Structure 1
Amino acid sequence: MNTSPFASPENQELLVNRYQLKKLIGKGGMGEVFLAHDVLLGGTPVAIKFLSQTFANPKIQESFNREALLSAALSQKSIHIVRAYDYGMSKSGKAFYVMEYLSGKRLKDLIPVPLSMFFTLARQICLGLQCAHKGISIDGKIHPLVHRDIKPANIIVIPDPILGQLVKILDFGIAKFLNSSNVIHTKGFHGTLPYCSPEQLEGDEVDSRSDIYSLGVMMFEMLTGQKPWQLETQYFGAWYKAHKFEQPKSIPEVNPYIQVPQQLNDLIMTCLEKDLVNRPQNIAEILQTLSKIEQSAHQNQIASVENKSTPHGSLSSELPITITQTCRELVWPENKPIQEIVFPQLINTKKGSMAALWLMLPQQEIINRAHTILHNQFIFITSPHPMLLWVTVLYGRQVVPKWLPCYLDMQNSQNLQLVSTLTNYTSYPLILFTLETPHTCANVLSSSIAPIQQKKLKNWVKQSQQLPSSALSQVSKKMLKHQYKQIQSQMLQYLESQPQIVA
């Protein structure tokens, strides 16, 4: 059943004689969001959120108007809070408010993020929260605002020419309105269970320290891609027990492969203290600590790079001229589709077979990436089926990374030969073919394989040959896909720490 205030928004009359609804662009527990055009401003695109409840009571409408007014006033004070322009009630009694329309991504679709991006985003989230917690003055009285539903789905990240990524926090003031005694007549609460503070779950009065608890959960997830508690069910009782009584896992416990400064783990654990008096008492404390950790981490990265003789992964290296010439003479296989794909395949050289990656891209993109570098990583799992993830990334400071994952069934004889061949060379070529006809080789790049990786590849080939046959290759592939985002984060952290990368 469609509970929207408009069954077909594009065919309806103007909302309050001003907004023409176009299409539904978001839906959640608190309501629905529509793209609309403001006809009084020449059709300017805006986002309109309708709250899920219908509020016919005049006192409730007055309460909503007050909260919406506070939220709109707050959004004028910080660029990190989504700007609210207007608010009101529809003819059916649906409360709505009008926001700026943003073309970006929700934080939930970006996590986990590399450490450098974490600092950029976390700092901006904190600045937005700090502004709200300090409050705004209306009629000579300070009104502090607590969000009550801080989570990755309520954070939008948009491209910005100055900051790189600009953070905007959604739904300020509305969560407080939905928690007010005028609206809630039971002991229920409004929030999102994995991010709720213990006092929020109890239905107690909350302050800025409740947002700090939710921020701690979100920061943990930004780094690991997981929550500090791994629960078998998502019911209220399970989350109540976790938030009230169970200690959160540390970042190394959830993912031992992520290199996070101990001070950052400690800060997040402090944000997750059960007793609010033991948490940071305000956002300013968190901002100060984050700044110190970021500065220290940057200095350690530089020192590590200067002293490191064998990197975690491998960067680009030059191929012998004879191999490059061989690659340039290759033609796109007839059995492969003409589209943007990547696949591994052996090539024949004067020194024997060599593993290579074949990639098809538009010619202009090949030109744009001519001076990027390559970096790789290999991950292997034996159970329930031996499967290898071979990840290569084209990286440059001025371009979006191009990720090239390849999943190899290690009980396939051709894949075994391919991986075995990788161990015979210190690098492998990436052969770029044009999407446009005649689909010729336009460039050849290469990525070196670190000695420690070569050793691992040899061991993995031997293991795969000794394991019994299995029909669960898709299960293993799904498991590797789950690890893929974490691998991306680790590789970006490494690449961004390399001062010699200027591409």
Structure 2
Amino acid sequence: MNKDAKKLPNNIDTSHTQLIANRYELNQLIGKGGMGEVFLANDILLGGVSVAIKFLSQTIADQYQQRYFAREARISAALSQKSLHIVKVTDYGISEAGKPFYVMEYLSGKNLRDLMPMSLPMFISLTKQICLGLQCAHQGITIDGHLYPIIHRDIKPENILVVPNGMLGQLVKILDFGIAKFLNHSITYSISLGFNGTVCYSSPEQLDGGELDSRSDIYSLGAIMFEMLTNEKPWQIASESLGAWYKVHQFTAPRKISDLQLGLNVPQQIEDVIMACLAKSAKERPQNIAEIISVLDSVVAEEQPVPAPAPMQIGLTDVDNQEDATSSTFSCTPTMAAEVGLSVEQACSQLVWPQSKPIQEIVFPKLIETQTKNITTLWVMLSQEEIANHSVSQRYSKLIFLASPHPMLLWLTVLYHPRYGPKWLPSYLDMQNYYNRQLLSSLVINEQYPVIFFTLEPLHYCAHV
């Protein structure tokens, strides 16, 4: 970061300009909202590693509030180590000015609102990841022998970050776990202070100041899911006043996506689960996140079924994504190439990079179909130089199963060249997903898989297998 970027703007609270906790050097303000301010900083203890520090707007002085903040921050930090989909909290404290702060991993990405509206495949992928993060929190964490289920209380697009990721393409990170609870507990309750401008995502029971459980987060998630697909909120409202929103959440039925006449082809199961999430009574909503995940997985299974063998078909069918499904010819070994009468090189030359995938160095699996069997393949995008360096190499693979926080498989492929060293090609498989279980089944049956390389440079063609 250049010297100018380290200068703090004049409008920043001067109480933040010192070295924080004798460790964090603040650089610049990168975000501001109802809960506080976020700064980019350097962790001097770790050699200047970039971190993000959030200072809460609430100033606390008495020891009870300080102890309560420390407890919530500790729980949030422990939770963040448990799920891939929750921003990691690495430190916390109270500044000399009495403002609580916590230190997070610094991530460069977009918040969910910047991606609205989105395609159905992106919606399913991102929503599933949001659900997995929330599910992990709702199931709770154990500290000192006590189980602490955690409710976010402020789920909104601005608290959901989407960052590029080599394994998943797009990785969801949820921000601010436990912080809303601390703020609501620490201050005298009032609607204007308790919701800080995000009342449009708050559940009816939250607005009434009632006891909350995971179903309150599910209500907020329903509003976000509606918006992800339509770029509109579920309710039409005359004004943005707090009173108007209170009446909407308590008494107004949400609109249906199918009634908006936006030309969207949303599966009925998706619309039904969104409407269920937005039920006024918590008893009428999905009772846990697992119910929403089950619906998402069922839609994926219906949209992307594993095709039955077609005896008269010559070639392969790419079934990874309905939007970019193409018929192509490809085989993973000379024996299989002989079955379809084509060489590996000829078959690969006809494959194209899916439009739904980003142009960057990523790895992802695809299930394709021959006339006799289904084949799991691994698609990789690298620079032409990297492909050339590892086109002739020793190949290793390993499958690592993890049961917590949810069943997942790390599928690791390594290409080793004595001169250029190893090239690691990791792929993450969520084993709660029906399609991923079919991928694994094919791996077990065939005991081998092709690795297909595409060039990072235009025209992104298939360069090697």
TM above 0.5, yes or no, is yes
Which residue does 1:75 correspond to in 2? 80
- Structure 2 CA distance for aligned equivalents of residues 153 and 269 of structure 1: 22
The residue that corresponds to 1:44 in the other structure is: 49
1:205 pairs, out of 207, 211, 225, with 211
Instruction: Give 1:489's aligned residue.
Output: none
Whether 1:58 and 2:18 are equivalent positions in the alignment is no
1:139-150 matches, cutoff 5 A: 139-150=144-155
Equivalent position amino acid for 1:6 in 2: T
Of 285-294 and 80-89, deviating more is 285-294
For 1:111 and 1:123, locate their aligned partners in 2 and report how far apart those are by CA, in whole Å: 16
Give the distance between the partners of 1:81 and 1:107, measured in 2 at CA.
14
Cα offset, 1:397, TM superposition: 4.8
Instruction: Name the aligned partner's letter for residue 188 of structure 2.
Output: I
Deviation at 1:56, TM superposition (A): 1.0
Determine the C-alpha separation between the residues in 1 that align with 2:179 and 2:172. Answer: 19
SS in 1 for 2:171: strand
Alignment match, 1:184: 188
Determine helix, strand or coil for the equivalent of 1:37: strand
Matches within 5 A, 1:44-443: 44-180=49-185, 182-186=186-190, 189-190=194-195, 192-299=198-305, 395=355, 397=357, 399=359
Question: Once the two structures are superposed, what CA deviation does each residue of 1:58-103 show, in whole Å capped at 9, x if it has no partner?
Answer: 1111111110000001000001000000011110101100000001
Q: CA deviation at 1:53?
A: 1.3
User: For 2:199 and 2:358, how far apart are their aligned partners in 1?
Assistant: 39
TM-score (norm 1): 0.59
Root-mean-square deviation (CA, aligned residues, Å) is: 2.8
- Aligned partners of 1:241 and 1:209: how far apart in 2? 20
Q: Distance in 2 between matches of 1:164 and 1:395?
A: 13
State the alpha-carbon separation in 1 of the partners of residues 276 and 126 from structure 2: 19
Shift of 1:216: 0.3
Q: Secondary structure at the match of 1:53?
A: coil
Q: Give the alignment's TM-score, normalised by structure 2.
A: 0.64
97 and 131 in structure 1: CA distance in 2 versus 1, 3 angstrom threshold: same
Between the two proteins, the alignment pairs up a number of residues equal to: 315
Q: Return the letter of the residue paired with 2:38.
A: V
Counterpart CA distance in 2 for 1:300 and 1:260 is 21
Select the structure of larger CA radius of gyration: 1
| Secondary structure, aligned partner of 2:56 | strand
Assess, with a 3 A threshold, how the Cα gap between structure 1 residues 143 and 226 changes in structure 2: closer, same or farther. Answer: same
Residue 39 of structure 2 is matched in structure 1 by 34
Give 5+ residue unaligned stretches, structure 2. 1-8, 309-316, 318-322, 327-350, 361-459
Structure 1 residue 194 displacement after superposition: 1.2
Relative to structure 1, the CA distance from residue 396 to residue 292 in structure 2 (aligned partners, 3 Å threshold; closer, same or farther) is closer
Once the two structures are TM-superposed, the CA of residue 255 in structure 1 deviates from its matched residue by: 3.8
Letter in 2 for 1:261: P
The answer to whether the Cα contact below 8 Å between 2:169 and 2:357 also exists between their aligned partners in 1 is no
Aligned to 2:14: 6
CA distance in 2, matches of 1:52, 1:3: 15
User: CA 1:245–1:186 in structure 2 vs 1: closer, same or farther (change >3 Å)?
Assistant: closer
Quote the Cα distance in structure 2 between the aligned partners of 1:153 and 1:198.
21
- Runs of 4+ displaced beyond 4 Å: 1-4, 185-188, 299-302, 394-398
C-alpha change, 1:155 and 1:186, in structure 2 (3 Å) is: closer
Q: Secondary structure at the match of 2:61?
A: coil
**2:384 matched residue in structure 1:** none
Residue by residue, what CA displacement relative to the aligned partner does 1:11-69 show, whole Å, maximum 9, x if unpaired? x3311100000000000000000000000000000000000111112111111111000
Q: Which runs of 5+ in 1 are unaligned?
A: 307-311, 316-370, 374-393, 401-501
> Contact (CA 8 Å) 1:5, 1:92: kept in 2 or not?
no
